[in-house]
Amino acid sequence: MNQAETPAIRIAGMTVRYGRRVAVDTASLEVPRGSVYALLGRNGAGKSSLVRCALGQQRASSGHAEILGEDSWKHRTRLMERIGVVAEEADAPPEMKVRQLADFCGALYSRWDGKAFDTRLSRFGISKDPRYGDLSKGQKKQVSLALALAASPDLIVLDDPTLGLDVVARKSLFEEVIADLADRGTTVFLTTHDLAGVESIADRVAIMDGGRIVLDEELETLKGRFRRIRSAAQPVALEAASFRTALVRRWGTGTEAVVSNYDDLTFERLRSSATIQSAEVSAMSLEEIFIAVAGEGAKS
Amino acid sequence: MTHVLTIARRDLAERASIFVAAAVLAVLPFVITLVPGMPQFPSTDVITTAGGLISVGFTLGLALVLGVTMIGRDLTEKRMSFYFSKPLSAQAIWFGKLGAALVSLALCFTVIFVPSYLAGTTSWHKSWNVELPVAFAIIATAALVMLLFGHFFGTMFRSKSPLVALDVVLIVAAGFALVGIIRPLLTGFAVDLTTRVAFILGGAMLLILLSGGAWQLAKGRADRRQNHIELSRFVWISMAIVLAIGGAFTAWVVHVTPGDLQSLEVSQPDQGTWSFLSGKAKHRMDYNALFAYDLATGEHLRIDGVRSWFSSGFSHDGKMLAYVKLPGQLYLLPLSPGAKPQDLQVTLGRGAQYVFSDDGTRIAVVDSDGIVTAYEIASKRALVSAKMPNTLRTARRLFFASPDVVRLYVESPQYGSIKASDYLVEIYELDVRTRALAHTGSYRTVTKDFGMTVSPDGARALVVERDEKSVSRAFIIDARTAQVIAPVPSADLMHTVLFADGSVGILTKDAAEQWTLTVHPLDGAERRIPIAKIARLYFARELKGGTVVLAGWKDKKSTMFVVDYAHGSVLRSEPDLRSPGFGYQQWYDADPRRVVTDADQPFAAWGDAKSLYAWQPLTGAKRKMLEF
């Protein structure tokens, strides 16, 4: 496998335990180079633990993580030269001024682009004088993002980057920054709750639930195979027609079901049958798919 | 290295407020001189004293705070990921932060200390009485200890992990192990060795904590609990190795054998084959090894916690050894292979003397307060105790005149300024049955330079006095009442002896270095026995049956002579053999009675080639026991 074929991130059978609690349960995933990969999951699903282990900041109980073809635990120091990281919680020293943070990071990266940092910071409207600890939550994220990007990384890892950002900043992050990075071939791996924002830019998504990766595929394929079907019939009819239901609930006097292997031909055959004539089908947003897969009523 | 400096620079920049605080504190010693009441002291003394206290106190306090926070705070506040998401190695993070902490401490100390020091250099040296480099070394070491221990305990307790309980248990265990390593060396009076071992162990501990920080970050990284686990794992495994090596070293030191001794002191009892050996052993620096050693078989019993044979004593039959352990516990060791010492539960004060009864069933002790007590060994019970009236007299000797009577000779002090009327020997008897202390006699001497020795049966005593003009005179006196029986010729103490048959032996040397032993019986003509031409000659030991062993030297060569003083002949001379003890012990031992040994008892003697021999004076048989 040449370098271009090597995934940017490869996680194999990773388990993370905190005492008896299993935070990540034999998770495996691959992030193709140049892609925008979104890892979705509810709070406590294990996303941040998986990210920390993938970045070599924390040792997994078992399993293996590679970044850019190298073991991320063993070669973390070297790898971090090529990776930009925005942590879930603001982790820069609060006493440091933004300027000092830039100087500090500038001394660590060989590909540091101070000009790009200054440009991005002024686009965010943040001065270099205040202390990091005095910035708002959103500003902290933006400074962290500017620092991460100024290192000219091959891979950028964003752990819930929109947390605390206002609508405008959130939109700017997804539509300008990440889209721009993707256009330049930088691999983007992010975890987020902002499904609407990520839907327009992600190439691939994975959903974590209860520590397990329950779904991992191209976003277009995913959206293509998930449909909402509302009908007066009972869901057994759908299952009899070989549809797998991810979510089933009452809808008026009938049933609303989310199927995860939708295809038009099967559905038309079903609708033409006597059992389910009044069914209507609709496409689903990523958020709706997420709720169907990882929400309260999701089938395990 | 660049990254280490980058981290250190960052941490230092964060501590600007600490340096400001140090600068404010630097002014404080000067402000204190303005406090009402202070003018009574010289202002330079106040400034240097306060400056010293504040600089040391602030530095050590800051060291503890920095130790607890430099890594622990970032871990607790989940900010360590900031460093680990950068191309920074764990070593760079640790040594950068540690370096910044050390520089901060040095800077703060300097900022506070230097102005007060410069304000009164002479006064500082007077107040603190320590050289500057020594003071700096002590403060730097103390600060490093506070910093590293602060880090260790900070990491431990900040993790809020149940593992803390295990750490506490291991800290206690390590404490016990340290005591187990150090104590046996201290009880061997190995001050230099103990100091060196303590320095090595302390240095190793600091090195472990120093390396532990780098290890913890390399393995635990941004995970708070994992940091604690990794630090504990590293520290305790390393400590176990260091303590095991320390323990093995101590075990090796204390399991010295008589064959390892390089210098040797020997004390041999009146009877029996056991002797008391003490000395320094190979590669063990100043560790003092002591043994009860059987000259007949070479068997030995190791004795702990005793500095030298000076405080030891054998029972009259030579089957038991008593010795004193600090702070004054009296122990009894039956002299047989595998025997264990017994604590007699008797504590001897400073200057106390003790003797066994001839049958070995009792011990009498007299302390420096003049309290005499007789104990029964089997029951460890005090049988009788009494206080002698004249406590000024400190030189005391005693023996069991019978199993129930302890006789005491309370002599004028050997040293110090006393009146001529105090040149006195008071004699007391303490009766175990009647529990009464009776004064039985006193002997007034002409000088404090005198000696007294008692015949083996306790009936008579020989007193030798030397006046201010160095003229010696001697008397045979009744050992109980001090009544003078007869004047006898005398020489100095080293060359005068009371023989078992009651006669007095005197060694004299003529101008041609010819030594002669003159025997003066109480009734009858004197006998002159020519010994040898030799530089020096002393009494070594008397054997039962009228034989005496003499030790001589000439040109660093020693020779032993066996003389039949009863019949007036030299039986044997043994070149290259040296006595470990001399006749002068008769004048100063706790038991004032003359030592008369069984004729067939082996005699511990040194060969000139650094060997210890078991020598049979009557037959001349000589067996090499030890080389040292």
Could you tell me if A145 and A269 lie in one domain?
A: no
Domain locations along chain B: 2-158, 349-444
Tokens of A244: 């797998």
Could you tell me if A52 and A144 lie in one domain?
A: yes
Q: For residue A76, which residues of chain B lie inside 8 Å, CB to CB?
A: 84, 221
Q: Which amino acid is at A112?
A: W
Which of B2, B87, B222 has its CB closest to that of A109? B87
Q: What is the mean pLDDT of chain B?
A: 88
Q: pLDDT band for A248, please (50, 70, 90 cuts).
A: confident
Tokens of A165: 């950002």
Supply the angle between the helices B2-14 and B90-119 in degrees, to the nearest 10: 50
The Cα A82–Cα A153 span in angstroms is 5
A42 falls within a domain? yes
- In terms of Cα–Cα distance, which of A80, A152, A164, A275 is closest to B90? A80
Query: Which of A182, A199, A218 is the last residue before a domain boundary?
Result: A218
Cα dihedral angle (A280, A285, A288, A293), rounded to 10 degrees?
100
The Cα B94–Cα B469 span in angstroms is 79
The percent of residues above 70 in pLDDT, for chain B, comes to: 95
Which of A78, A91, A104 has its CB closest to that of B81? A91
3-state helix, strand, coil in chain B (%, to 5): 40, 30, 30
- pLDDT > 80? residue B243: yes
Q: For residue A95, which residues of chain B lie inside 8 Å, CB to CB?
A: 14
**Model pLDDT, residue B585:** 61
CATH number for position A248: 3.30.70.260
Of A97-101, A281-285, B211-215, B476-480, the poorest mean pLDDT is in A281-285
A293 falls within a domain? no
A83 and B85 in contact by Cβ < 8 A? yes
The Cα B362–Cα B382 span in angstroms is 10
Distances (CA, A) of B13 to A57, B6, B9, B104: 25, 11, 6, 10
Residues in a beta bridge with B261: B281
Tokens of B130: 């320590």
**Model pLDDT, residue B391:** 55
- pLDDT > 60? residue A300: no
**Model pLDDT, residue B395:** 59
Question: Taking a C-beta distance cutoff of 8 angstroms, is the pair A39, A53 a contact?
Answer: no
Task: Give per-residue burial for B394-432: e unless 16+ CB within 10 Å, then b.
Answer: bbbbbbbbeebbbbbbbbbeeeeeeeeebbbbbbbbbbb
pLDDT in tens, B386-427: 988 765 555 578 999 999 999 999 876 544 555 655 578 889
Residue with the two structure tokens 């005398």: B490
- In terms of Cα–Cα distance, which of B90, B104, B85 is closest to B9? B104
Long-range contacts of B196-203 (CB under 8 A, 24+ apart): B196/B285, B197/B246, B197/B249, B197/B250, B200/B246, B201/B242, B201/B243, B201/B246
Q: Which residues contact A274 (CB under 8 A, 6 or more apart)?
A: none
**Model pLDDT, residue B317:** 78
Could you tell me if A54 and A146 lie in one domain?
A: yes
Tokens of A179: 């889209």
A289 falls within a domain? no
The Cα B403–Cα A71 span in angstroms is 87
- pLDDT > 80? residue B275: yes
Separation in Å, CA of A283 to nearest CA in chain B: 40
Question: Taking a C-beta distance cutoff of 8 angstroms, is the pair B622, B616 a contact?
Answer: yes
> In sequence order, what E strands does B413-470 have?
424-431, 436-444, 450-454, 460-466
Put simply, the chain A residues between 74 and 113 with a CB less than 8 A from any chain B CB are: 76-81, 83, 85, 87, 89, 91-93, 95-96, 100, 104-105, 107-109
Question: Taking a C-beta distance cutoff of 8 angstroms, is the pair B408, B398 a contact?
Answer: yes
The Cα A149–Cα A175 span in angstroms is 15
pLDDT in tens, B301-317: 988 877 666 677 888 77
Q: Which amino acid is at B508?
A: T
Separation in Å, CA of B89 to nearest CA in chain A: 6
Task: Report which of residues B264 and B51 the model is more confident about.
Answer: B51
The percent of residues above 70 in pLDDT, for chain A, comes to: 92
Question: Quick one: A186 exposed, middle or buried, by C-beta within 10 A (0-12, 13-18, 19+)?
Answer: buried
Selection from B162-171, B278-287, B464-473, B517-526 with the highest mean pLDDT: B162-171
Instruction: Walk across the sheet containing A280-283 and list its strands.
Output: A245-251, A254-259, A227-231, A280-283
A234 falls within a domain? yes
Could you tell me if A26 and A69 lie in one domain?
A: yes
- pLDDT > 70? residue B176: yes
Q: Which residues contact A181 (CB under 8 A, 6 or more apart)?
A: A149, A156, A188
Q: For residue B94, which residues of chain A lie inside 8 Å, CB to CB?
A: none
pTM for the model: 0.80
Put simply, the chain A residues between 213 and 252 with a CB less than 8 A from any chain B CB are: none
Q: Which residues contact B77 (CB under 8 A, 6 or more apart)?
A: none
**Model pLDDT, residue A296:** 65
**Model pLDDT, residue A152:** 92
- pLDDT > 80? residue A178: no
**Cα dihedral sign, B101-B105-B108-B114:** negative
A75 falls within a domain? yes
- pLDDT > 60? residue B555: yes
- pLDDT > 70? residue A40: yes
Distances (CA, A) of B627 to B287, B447, B610: 18, 44, 6
The percent of residues above 90 in pLDDT, for chain A, comes to: 52
**Model pLDDT, residue B389:** 78
- pLDDT > 60? residue B483: yes
Query: Which of A196, A218, A240 is the last residue before a domain boundary?
Result: A218
**Cα dihedral sign, B175-B176-B182-B186:** positive
Could you tell me if A167 and A249 lie in one domain?
A: no
**Model pLDDT, residue A3:** 61
Q: For residue A78, which residues of chain B lie inside 8 Å, CB to CB?
A: 87
Tell me what the mean pLDDT of segment B335-364 comes to: 86
Selection from A24-33, B128-137, B180-189 with the highest mean pLDDT: A24-33
Tell me what the mean pLDDT of segment A88-96 comes to: 91
Which of B2, B87, B223 has its CB closest to that of A77? B87
Tokens of B11: 């941490």
Tokens of B343: 């604590």
Could you tell me if A210 and A150 lie in one domain?
A: yes
The percent of residues above 90 in pLDDT, for chain B, comes to: 52
Question: Taking a C-beta distance cutoff of 8 angstroms, is the pair A237, A270 a contact?
Answer: yes
Q: pLDDT band for B569, please (50, 70, 90 cuts).
A: very high
Q: What is the mean pLDDT of chain A?
A: 88
The Cα B406–Cα B458 span in angstroms is 11
Selection from B110-114, B156-160, B280-284, B366-370 with the highest mean pLDDT: B110-114
Q: How many CA atoms lie within 13 A of A182 on its CB side?
A: 21
Q: Is B447 helix (H, G, I), strand (E, B) or coil?
A: coil
Selection from A255-264, B557-566, B577-586 with the highest mean pLDDT: B557-566
Put simply, whether A65 touches B (Cβ < 8 Å) is no
**Strand A187-192 relative to strand A36-41: parallel, antiparallel, unpaired?**
parallel
pLDDT in tens, A117-144: 999 999 888 999 999 999 998 899 899 9
**Model pLDDT, residue B92:** 96
Q: Is B496 helix (H, G, I), strand (E, B) or coil?
A: strand
- In terms of Cα–Cα distance, which of B221, B545, B172 is closest to A52? B221
Could you tell me if A118 and A242 lie in one domain?
A: no
**Model pLDDT, residue B381:** 92
**Model pLDDT, residue A297:** 60
Could you tell me if A122 and A203 lie in one domain?
A: yes
Q: Which amino acid is at B384?
A: V
Tell me what the mean pLDDT of segment B153-165 comes to: 91
Q: Which residues contact B444 (CB under 8 A, 6 or more apart)?
A: B423, B424
Tell me what the mean pLDDT of segment B602-619 comes to: 86
**Model pLDDT, residue A181:** 80
Q: For residue B14, which residues of chain A lie inside 8 Å, CB to CB?
A: 93, 95-96
- In terms of Cα–Cα distance, which of A141, A131, A135 is closest to A99? A131
**Cβ-based interface (< 8 Å): residues of B facing A:** 2-3, 6, 10, 13-14, 74, 78-82, 84-89, 219, 221-223, 226
**Model pLDDT, residue B388:** 82
The Cα A181–Cα A25 span in angstroms is 31
Longest pairwise C-alpha distance within chain A: 72
Q: Is B439 helix (H, G, I), strand (E, B) or coil?
A: strand
Question: Taking a C-beta distance cutoff of 8 angstroms, is the pair B389, B414 a contact?
Answer: no
How many domains, chain A? 2
A2 falls within a domain? no
Annotate B227-289 with three-state secondary structure: HHHHHHHHHHHHHHHHHHHHHHHHHHHHCCCHHHECCCEEECCCCCCEEEEEEEECCCCCCEE
| Domain enclosing residue A278, as ranges | 227-283
**Model pLDDT, residue B414:** 46
Question: Taking a C-beta distance cutoff of 8 angstroms, is the pair B272, B335 a contact?
Answer: yes
Which chain A residue shows the shortest CA-CA distance from B76? A91
Q: For residue A96, which residues of chain B lie inside 8 Å, CB to CB?
A: 10, 13-14
Q: Is B583 helix (H, G, I), strand (E, B) or coil?
A: coil
Could you tell me if A188 and A249 lie in one domain?
A: no
**Model pLDDT, residue B20:** 94
A33 falls within a domain? yes
- pLDDT > 70? residue A237: no
**Model pLDDT, residue B169:** 97
A300 falls within a domain? no
Q: pLDDT band for A235, please (50, 70, 90 cuts).
A: low
Q: Is B445 helix (H, G, I), strand (E, B) or coil?
A: coil
CATH number for position A14: 3.40.50.300
Q: How many CA atoms lie within 13 A of A257 on its CB side?
A: 23
Q: For residue A89, which residues of chain B lie inside 8 Å, CB to CB?
A: 78
Could you tell me if A134 and A268 lie in one domain?
A: no
